[in-house]
Amino acid sequence: MQKVNENYIRGVLFPTDFTVASLAALRIYLERYAGTAMRLFLVHGYRAGDSIPELLFHSPTSIARALAGNDFAEACAVLKNRFGFITTLGCTVFSGKNQAAFENFIAGYGISEAIVVHGYESKRRDARSFGLEGFIRASDLQISQINAPEILRLNASDSVAGLFSSGAQGLKP
């Protein structure tokens, strides 16, 4: 496989609730853009605590690992293996409180595009969880919209097998 310059790879944000079922929308997106090198960032909105110990030991990656289960991690690994054009697949949380913090977040990760799932009600994994759609829509990110009825056609359950069920074969965007 030819080495691709990281500066020219599409950076894509996918807001996630850390359920395998939510990855069905990501799968539709990946099938639409098959072969396009990209760096994917699965991001969850999470309010960091205000105490000094929580702020000192706040690690977005460790919080993401705690919120995501083993099934979610396995489904991410399967997606990365199945879609070889994904150069990076990272999971993290965004803990900012305003649009400026979000703009700094996307600039720091080199994100230029976001996937928005229309009609999908994401699950809140924790009392501190919050949605990212307001931040995404207020930003200058290019938005790719996936409609929830397409996800329902996949018959995605909260299992890895459901994500790649036979009902999804031959899906045309």
CA distance 173 to 164: 16
Helix residue ranges per DSSP H, the chain: 23-32, 52-56, 60-67, 70-82, 99-109, 133-138, 148-153, 160-163
pLDDT value of residue 2: 46
CA within 13 Å, CB half, 73? 9
CA distance 19 to 108: 25
Q: Per-residue confidence of the chain (173 residues) as pLDDT tens digits?
A: 445 455 568 999 999 998 888 888 898 899 999 989 999 999 999 988 778 887 777 788 888 888 888 889 999 999 999 999 999 999 999 999 999 999 999 999 999 999 998 877 777 777 888 999 999 999 999 999 988 765 554 544 555 655 665 444 333 33
3-class DSSP state for residue 106? helix
> What are the structural domains, with CATH classification, of the chain?
8-120+131-166 (3.40.50.620)
pTM of the predicted protein model: 0.82
